[in-house]
Structure 1
Amino acid sequence: MIGALDAPMEALRTLLAGKPARIAREPGAPRKPREGTKQEQVLAMLRRPEGATVAQIAEATGWAQHTVRGFFAGLKKKGHAVEVLERIRQVGPNREGARGSYTVYHLSA
């Protein structure tokens, strides 16, 4: 029975030997995010001069708004400063009320 596995195992070893080795990064060096991910898309939106709102990011990524705010909390833990550029309050006569209020966020350099 063991002899029956010799040929498939050798084929697997040959296949794996052809793979290029992963390049290790320096210890302590920041990780480079993969390109084209939703996280990278959010970071690009936050780096724009005009910033972005939670609603804009949620629409662009398909995330729920609470997920976007959670992502902001994760950025803060990683040492990124998410700043508030502007708070728009829609309160008073002829306004939409709390639903029309929003905040514009920006990722500081």
Structure 2
Amino acid sequence: MIGALDARMEALRTLLAGKPARAAREPGAPRKPREGTKQEQVLAMLRRPEGATVAQIAEATGWAQHTVRGFFAGLKKKGYAVQVLERVRMVGPNKEGAKGSYTVYSIAI
């Protein structure tokens, strides 16, 4: 039984030895997202000159709106600066918030 594991471990070591090492990034530099991911799609939407709203990103990715806002918090940790381009507030009766309010977000290119 142990001999069978030794052979498999040796095969795994051989496979891993042939892999090229990942290029190191500079400390403090933001990570590059993998290509074709939802993260890359969201970053592209935020880099547009007109920016993007939480609702637009949620629709494009299939995420819930709270997930998009959490993603923004993660971007800040990774070194991206998410800025507010425009904030539109709809006010209903009794100074209560009304449907239709939105905020347009963007990141620096």
TM-score w.r.t. length of structure 2: 0.74
DSSP 3-state at the match of 1:59: helix
Aligned partners of 2:106, 2:12: CA distance in 1, in Å? Answer: 49
**Displacement of 1:42 after TM fit?**
0.6
Q: Percent identity?
A: 68
DSSP 3-state at the match of 1:99: coil
- Once the two structures are superposed, residues 21-59 of structure 1 have per-residue CA deviations (whole angstroms, 9 ceiling, x without a partner) of 223315527332211111111111000000000000001
Alignment coverage as a number of residue pairs? 105
**Displacement of 1:98 after TM fit?**
1.8
Judged with a 3 Å threshold, the aligned counterparts in structure 2 of structure 1 residues 8 and 45 are, in CA distance, closer, same or farther, namely: same
- Once the two structures are superposed, residues 75-100 of structure 1 have per-residue CA deviations (whole angstroms, 9 ceiling, x without a partner) of 1222321111111223358xxx6211
**Is residue 39 of structure 2 the alignment partner of residue 51 of structure 1?**
no
**Is residue 12 of structure 2 the alignment partner of residue 21 of structure 1?**
no
Judged with a 3 Å threshold, the aligned counterparts in structure 2 of structure 1 residues 16 and 67 are, in CA distance, closer, same or farther, namely: same
DSSP 3-state at the match of 2:87: strand
**Equivalent residue, structure 2, for 1:80:** 80
Judged with a 3 Å threshold, the aligned counterparts in structure 2 of structure 1 residues 106 and 16 are, in CA distance, closer, same or farther, namely: same
> Root-mean-square deviation (CA), in Å?
3.0
Higher alpha-carbon deviation: 54-63 or 70-79: 70-79
Q: Is the 8 A contact 2:92 2:98 kept in 1?
A: no
Aligned partners of 1:69, 1:100: CA distance in 2, in Å? Answer: 18
Higher alpha-carbon deviation: 35-44 or 21-30: 21-30
Which is greater in Rg?
A: 1
- Give unpaired runs (5+ residues) of structure 2: none
TM-score w.r.t. length of structure 1: 0.74
